[in-house]
Amino acid sequence: MKRTPTSNRRADTAAIEPQRSGEFSIGAFEENSTGIDSKPAITEDKLRRAREHIAKGLTVREAAMRVKVGKTALYEALAVEAA
């Protein structure tokens, strides 16, 4: 009988138990990785400067490079602002 390596098996996220003090399985990380407690990816100053670059005719990608943020984070910040 051929054994399946454990790395190919998907972790059961329904029953997450601590492995050692303070450590949780990968399933716990997937469930808790929503970024609720993380700091904002873009500060108000960087968002303002990115808007200025875009107003001058740069693309969002070029503006993101100039203010040193990720293009996805900038797109999301602009979408939140527009909503």
pTM over 0.75: no
Would you give the end-to-end CA distance of the chain in angstroms?
Answer: 57
Q: Which of the two residues, 80 and 56, has the higher pLDDT score?
A: 56
Helix (H) or strand (E) holding 30: helix 26-32
Q: What is the pLDDT of residue 83?
A: 77
Q: What is the pLDDT of residue 41?
A: 78
